[in-house]
Structure 1
Amino acid sequence: MRTTVSQIAREAGVSPATVDRVLNDRDGVRPRTRDIVLQVARKLGYFGPLEAAAPDVTVRLDFVLPAGSNSFMRTLKKNLLEESAARGDVTATLHEIEGFDPERLSAKLIDLRHRTDGVGLVALDHPQVREAINALAASGVRIGTLVSDIPTVDKVGYVGVDNRAAGRLAGLLLGRFLPPGQHRIAVFVGSLAYRGHEEREMGVRSILSEEFPEIRIAGTAEVSDDRDRAYDETMRLLEHGDISGIYNIGSGNQGIARALREARRDRKTVFIGHDLTDATRLMLLDRTMDAVIDQNPRVEAREIVRLLASSVKGTVEPEYMPRLQVVFKENIPSN
């Protein structure tokens, strides 16, 4: 059985909440306390017994992620390489796929057969991609999905947030922030080929229907996580009616913010998005964005590396689902 947060808390002499903040790399913990918690977590085997079990085995990991200007993905890529290098028993290679292209993604996965021990990927839920993943797994490569899951493929686990819960959380924020009365909102999607984006849309629709029926989704725009397309779609929606709120499921927040400012709607439109980056941090500070639903890329990188390396070395580890955190201007964590 995997070590629990409560066990670490008892051994370290701190509260479970403190352990949770440390493991999820959140602020509010003194450096010395953080060091103690991490030391205890390692001693109790929270991160897996890899070094003790097989210190002489080097695991080859490959990570396949979308290319582009997505700030969250850039941070995730950086953390994947850093977490892999920090272990000493892992070598990591990063591959970037241009566009939402199942053929390119499938070709890359097929190319990795017999060249790697494990693959972590942010993948489209597409028949061609699913076949390539299963073929790669059948060749003996361990597969882990990251950020957006594909439930039906042969994999060792998924590391990422509950995306349906994230969508429901966004809908709750919109419902609470908007004043009483009828409202029209817009929903922006990176690509519904990502199951995570589809689940977030399902989540926001479900809670609005259940608890805020006076809020109607007037338009949904699929913008491929492109800020210029997000800008154009925002301007189009604003020109064709009064939009009280915007929920951006994926990337492209900068394009939406630019359109809201140019239309002088930045202080009148409730704007909820995802992932705390340098750009969204500034948007929170100037009140263009009202809230950011954050997932921690450093924790996700650490956990996918641990999951894959453990599986390659023969240790079964449970899936880890990082917690969602809502960030407002008033609680922006320090860099």
Structure 2
Amino acid sequence: MAHRYKVREIAQQAGLSEATVDRVLHQRPGVRENTVAEVNQAIADLDKQRAQLRLNGRRYLVDVVMQTPRRFSDAFRAAVEAELPAFAPAMLRARFHLWESGSTDQMVDTLDRIRGSHGVVLKAQDEPEVAEVVDRLVRSGVPVVTYATDVPASARCAYVGIDNHGAGVTAAYLVQQWLADNPSDVLITVSRTVFRGEGEREVGFRSGLRHSGRTIVEVSESDGIDATNERLVLEALEAHPEVRAVYSVGGGNTATVAAFDKLGRDCRVFVAHDLDADNRRLLREGRISAVLHNDLRADARLALRLILQERGALPVEPVRPVPIQVITPYNIPTQG
């Protein structure tokens, strides 16, 4: 079977004879394991160099489209901008379409108006209309990578983000361990129920506390915006005086802490998501217990790489799940 590189090319890269390389490629007997490893490494090196040649001098324009609280979009925008130079010798530029609160129609209209794009990184509602506009983009030759929350019924090429159900179960485990035998109901705050990722976190959390005997009180539709979230949390806390723990799925944690303070109520356990500026401060102040976090720069790098793979500019590599990091006041990573 023909190989993608000539035997002479592989032999030159490996520093071996053409006859030796031919024996390795055809899996003939009598070849040492370290020689096989040298040939495989030479092929891997040639793959990398071929990718660099494909990237050389190319220009790519990527659109980042997100409905999310500004504290998160600011952090992800910084991560994308920090990773763009890493794809040299290609030149990557990014356009950002970011807003905090809006309708599905706004998302569809924004995606429909994208022109001249080489790919889209998308955090959007899991709605049929969104799946349809993603399909239109893909049919027009624009690959779409969903981020943080998925639209699985669409033709998107990949999802980048944590296992949201697993994150919810992890949060339930932490809450239960910290509360131990202390009686407490648990507040769960969700920014918007149309985001699939948040729904998966909530389902995981509920399953993790199913046999705990604790009541779960839900606050939703705040878009993670502090003013709205504080009002909704205050109403929930007043109606449920036994709440002493919080799992924040959708953000607005400064507001949630303020609501507890206004009522003079102690919060024994507070598990949140994403290591944004607010959560860093709240962790250092001891106002939240732990943050479930993933490396935004690694996320941005993977999303950009997947778009370049779809365009044939980089070799295909398997997508691995993004690991969840449990951050406490004692292991906060440095920014950068």
Q: The TM-score by the shorter chain falls in which range?
A: 0.7 to 0.9
Structure 1 CA distance for aligned equivalents of residues 49 and 74 of structure 2: 27
- Structure 1 equivalent of residue 63 of structure 2: 62
Asked whether 1:231 is paired with 2:222, we answer: no
- Structure 2 equivalent of residue 78 of structure 1: 78
- Structure 2 equivalent of residue 143 of structure 1: 144
Deviations 1:280-318 (A, max 9, x none): 122112221011111211111111011101211254332
Structure 2 CA distance for aligned equivalents of residues 78 and 280 of structure 1: 17
Deviations 1:60-89 (A, max 9, x none): 2111112643x2221101211231244232
**Secondary structure, in 3 states, of the residue corresponding to 2:247?**
strand
Q: Is the 8 A contact 2:219 2:233 kept in 1?
A: no
- Structure 1 equivalent of residue 25 of structure 2: none
Structure 2 CA distance for aligned equivalents of residues 258 and 68 of structure 1: 18
> Aligned letter for 2:162?
V
Q: Structure 1 104/55 Cα, relative in aligned 2: closer, same or farther at 3 Å?
A: same
Structure 1 CA distance for aligned equivalents of residues 161 and 45 of structure 2: 24
Q: Is the 8 A contact 1:164 1:201 kept in 2?
A: yes
Structure 2 CA distance for aligned equivalents of residues 263 and 98 of structure 1: 28
> Aligned letter for 1:122?
K
1:173-212 map, 5 Å: 173-209=174-210, 212=211
Deviations 1:137-184 (A, max 9, x none): 011111111111111211221111111111111111111111315431
Q: Structure 1 269/237 Cα, relative in aligned 2: closer, same or farther at 3 Å?
A: farther
**Secondary structure, in 3 states, of the residue corresponding to 1:96?**
strand
> Percent identity over the alignment?
27
Asked whether 1:323 is paired with 2:329, we answer: no
Aligned residues: 289
1:145-294 map, 5 Å: 145-209=146-210, 212-240=211-239, 241-266=241-266, 268-294=267-293
Deviations 1:239-294 (A, max 9, x none): 2222121111012011011122232334x431111111222122112221011111
- Structure 1 equivalent of residue 95 of structure 2: 93
Structure 1 CA distance for aligned equivalents of residues 296 and 167 of structure 2: 15
Q: Is the 8 A contact 1:183 1:215 kept in 2?
A: yes
Which of structures 1 and 2 has the bigger CA Rg?
Answer: 2
Q: Structure 1 44/185 Cα, relative in aligned 2: closer, same or farther at 3 Å?
A: farther
Deviations 1:170-201 (A, max 9, x none): 11111111131543111100111111001000
Structure 2 CA distance for aligned equivalents of residues 105 and 45 of structure 1: 42
**Secondary structure, in 3 states, of the residue corresponding to 2:234?**
helix
Q: Structure 1 280/98 Cα, relative in aligned 2: closer, same or farther at 3 Å?
A: closer
Structure 1 CA distance for aligned equivalents of residues 202 and 68 of structure 2: 23
Structure 2 CA distance for aligned equivalents of residues 192 and 85 of structure 1: 36
Q: Is the 8 A contact 2:62 2:119 kept in 1?
A: yes
Q: Structure 1 185/59 Cα, relative in aligned 2: closer, same or farther at 3 Å?
A: same
Cα RMSD of the aligned pairs, angstroms, is 2.3
Q: Is the 8 A contact 2:145 2:303 kept in 1?
A: yes
**Secondary structure, in 3 states, of the residue corresponding to 1:95?**
strand
Decide which moves more: 301-310 or 96-105.
96-105
Q: Structure 1 48/207 Cα, relative in aligned 2: closer, same or farther at 3 Å?
A: farther
- Structure 1 equivalent of residue 120 of structure 2: 119
> Aligned letter for 2:146?
T
Higher relative contact order, structure no. (Cα contacts within 8 Å, ≥ 6 residues apart): 1
> Aligned letter for 2:143?
R
Q: Is the 8 A contact 1:48 1:310 kept in 2?
A: no
Q: Structure 1 317/183 Cα, relative in aligned 2: closer, same or farther at 3 Å?
A: same
**Secondary structure, in 3 states, of the residue corresponding to 1:230?**
helix
Deviation at 1:222, TM superposition (A): 2.9
Deviations 1:9-40 (A, max 9, x none): xxxxxxxxxxxxxxxxxxxxxxxxxxxxxxx9
- Residue segments in structure 1 that go unaligned for 5+ positions in a row: 1-39
